[in-house]
């Protein structure tokens, strides 16, 4: 089967399945999304693009943004960032404070909220115009100048962001936040509010399958060795306290968001994005995980 046949088969099989889960409801903008949305898109390094369902409809990428901000922060600070954030799986929910307190304000990894707040702090220190500069970086990877923040989502996140406020203040008390907490939170909430379709998202992450290079655009955004490391972090830390389960079932590095999106990459082969808003109890898209498991099972290919 080729990829389009696999996607079509997944689309066909999943019609008969009722996936469990609840749409994220902590802010109205996410709660209003239809739970029945389902899209999937594959970008191959060889050039092919394959789509299923609502693959061209935009959604809130939320925590998926953390991989992109990590990538940008590393371009500015290099391995110095590992003094302020670790690379270990957390084994805890995405917004837990427990480990952070035991470990003196050093987050377990850059893909949980605490770690992404430290990365945001680093970017606020380096970027002259943090929100616009970050958006320009993402647009460049996406090859799409229309990618944008959803300002209503960003404002709503801020209004209900008490736990993120707790996290950043705790880290500030340990000296691991250098800028004003309000400024960093504002940048962080905007960052999470970016909207993309599965097609754009897969395209944006294709460089992680391509050793750090923008496909067909002759440009190395990040070195090969660094691409390997970001993929490794996605593999062990991309799904909060379900990273092992995703690795076990899907066998690819990836990252999820509470908007229901998941992106994954098969280094040397393809990137893939899937979107279905119903989340399992650990905050990851139920149907999204199942779809990616079906993809690697049907294709017989994974990194393992």
17 is catalytic: no
CB of 170 to a copy of itself, least distance (A): 4
Four-CA torsion 111, 217, 292, 241, nearest 10 degrees = -10
By CB atoms closer than 10 A (0-12, 13-18, 19+), residue 20 is exposed
Which 152-211 positions form the footprint of a copy of itself (CB under 8 A)? 162-163, 165-167, 169-170, 172-173, 181
Tell me if 298 contacts a copy of itself by CB under 8 A.
no
Tell me if 66 contacts a copy of itself by CB under 8 A.
no
For residue 266, give the H/E element and its range.
Answer: strand 261-266
Closest CA to 190 of 145, 168, 160, 158: 158
Tell me if 77 contacts a copy of itself by CB under 8 A.
no
41 to each of 52, 132, 140, 155, 183, how far by Cα in Å?
6, 27, 19, 29, 35
Tell me if 2 contacts a copy of itself by CB under 8 A.
no
Residue from 63, 65, 96, 286 carrying the catalytic annotation: 63
Closest CA to 85 of 113, 63, 118, 112: 118
What character string, x for contact with a copy of itself (CB under 8 A) and - otherwise, covers 231-250?
xxx-xxx---xxxxx-xxx-
Extract the tokens encoding 270. Answer: 């393809």
Of 35 and 87, which CB lies nearer to a copy of itself in the complex structure?
87
- Phi and psi dihedrals of 9, rounded to 5? -65, -40
Residue from 240, 255, 256, 302 carrying the catalytic annotation: 240
Of 33 and 87, which CB lies nearer to a copy of itself in the complex structure?
87
Tell me if 37 contacts a copy of itself by CB under 8 A.
no
Residue from 3, 50, 134, 188 carrying the catalytic annotation: 188
Distance in angstroms (rounded) separating the CA atoms of residues 221 and 229: 14
Distance in angstroms (rounded) separating the CA atoms of residues 91 and 110: 14
What is the contact surface with a copy of itself in residues (CB under 8 A)? 86-92, 96-99, 101-102, 108-109, 162-163, 165-167, 169-170, 172-173, 181, 224-225, 227-229, 231-233, 235-237, 241-245, 247-249, 251, 253, 267, 296-297, 300, 302-304
> Which residues are annotated as catalytic?
63, 66, 188, 240, 258
């Amino acid at each position: 089967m080729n990829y389009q046949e696999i996607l079509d088969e997944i689309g066909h099989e999943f019609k008969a399945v009722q996936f469990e889960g609840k749409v994220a409801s902590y802010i109205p903008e996410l709660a209003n999304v239809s739970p029945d949305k389902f899209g999937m898109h594959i970008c191959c390094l060889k050039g092919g693009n394959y789509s299923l369902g609502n693959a061209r409809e935009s959604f809130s990428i939320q925590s998926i943004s953390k991989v992109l901000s990590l990538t940008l922060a590393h371009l500015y600070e290099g391995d110095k960032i590992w003094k302020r954030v670790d690379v270990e799986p957390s084994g805890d929910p995405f917004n837990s404070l427990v480990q952070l307190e035991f470990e003196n304000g050093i987050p377990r990894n850059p893909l949980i909220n605490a770690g992404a707040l430290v990365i945001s702090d680093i970017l606020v220190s380096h970027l002259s115009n943090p929100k616009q500069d970050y958006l320009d970086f993402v647009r460049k990877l996406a090859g799409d100048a229309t990618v944008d923040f959803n300002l209503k989502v960003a404002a709503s996140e801020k209004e209900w962001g008490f736990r993120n406020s707790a996290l950043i203040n705790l880290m500030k008390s340990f000296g691991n936040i250098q800028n004003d907490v309000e400024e960093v939170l504002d940048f962080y909430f905007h960052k999470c509010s970016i909207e993309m379709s599965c097609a754009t998202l897969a395209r944006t992450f294709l460089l992680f399958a391509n050793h750090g290079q923008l496909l067909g655009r002759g440009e190395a955004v990040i070195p090969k060795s660094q691409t390997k490391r970001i993929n490794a972090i996605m593999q062990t830390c991309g799904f909060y306290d379900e990273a092992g389960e995703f690795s076990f079932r899907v066998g690819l590095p990836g990252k999820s968001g509470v908007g229901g999106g998941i992106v994954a990459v098969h280094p040397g082969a393809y990137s893939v994005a899937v979107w279905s808003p119903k989340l399992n109890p650990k905050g990851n898209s139920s149907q999204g995980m199942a779809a990616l498991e079906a993809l690697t099972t049907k294709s017989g290919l994974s990194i393992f």
